[in-house]
Structure 1
Amino acid sequence: MKIYTKTGDKGTTSLIYGQRVSKNDARVEAYGTCDETNSMIGLALSHLRNENFQEKEIIENVYHKIQTNLFHVGAELATPKGKEVKWSLTSLDVEEMEKQIDEWNSSLSELTNFILPGGHPAAAAFHVARTMARRAERCAVSLGEEVNPLVLAYLNRLSDLLFITARYVNNRLGTAEQTLHEKSK
């Protein structure tokens, strides 16, 4: 099977069910940003490949499910209004992330200042994925009422989880967080 189809050479692509739209269509932007987020999560996980710490496998398992869910979120966003969504999120998907956020956050020091994205390369990549998840959420919001509210909740909670994961990875690997410096008067 060839990977190229040439059907997008004139600036259009297909949504699920075959409807052709411009590649700058709001739906394409929304599901494309989910794909970017997913790829950045993969990069973040690849930075953990040679690290050894007790919680690494748990992080990998949590994000394997999230990466799978992001494919499904993208598919839902690529489904035209009025068409049947072949897969959809449940409130349990959001609740699972909330439980993970609470668990990992409980082991971290309380935030008393803004932190700068960075630290270990994996943590820095999780921070970038967080900003991409926020952008995916904004893109999904721009689609209006036709978006499943659980998609919005999922993307919102995902960005929270990515933030906590970045902090958690830095903590577990002994990498100090950099705080925002106040401007001198």
Structure 2
Amino acid sequence: HGAIVSEFSMEIEPGRQTFPMRNRIISGWSHGVLVVEAGLNSGALITASQALEQGRSVYAVPGHINAPSAMGSNRLIQQGAKLVMDASDVLDDLQILLPETKPSPEAAARPLPSLSEQERCIYDAIEAAETSIDDITDKTQLPSATVSSTLLQLELKRLVKQLPGKYFVKLG
């Protein structure tokens, strides 16, 4: 199922002149707008401006200072857009929009799946509170590459969750 929402009749072909009006609707429905790369004449800057007018957050990924394709996004940052280095920057900012992650009573009571000795060692090194990857590496005395790859396996098994700043919490 889906919907088409437009200010234009079905006979109007999409074109350059209609994108700003379409994107105004999209930015109005959004909590924020992320500009990944934009030149100085990019339509993305129009959408970012509309988002600001609508009280939405504007995020931008920085680019090389001499790249024409990054001058618009860099200017947005200079003018106050929130700088984004990775997805956690946006997720942290929109934290109020995300439900808190707590295991259900059923999940908390569920036994852990069988873990390798290495997975168990790393899982046990994660404390009740957030634990940094450096603390996990120090506790286990395992190489950092091993800790990183094993934490990924534990994430895939939905046993741990990575938080911003390379911190981890147990989920189950």
TM range (shorter): under 0.3
* TM superposition score normalised by structure 2: 0.26
* TM superposition score normalised by structure 1: 0.25
Indicate the structure (1 or 2) with the bigger Cα radius of gyration: 2
Greater RCO, 1 or 2 (C-alpha within 8 Å, sep 6+) = 1
Higher fraction of strand: 2
Higher fraction of helix: 1
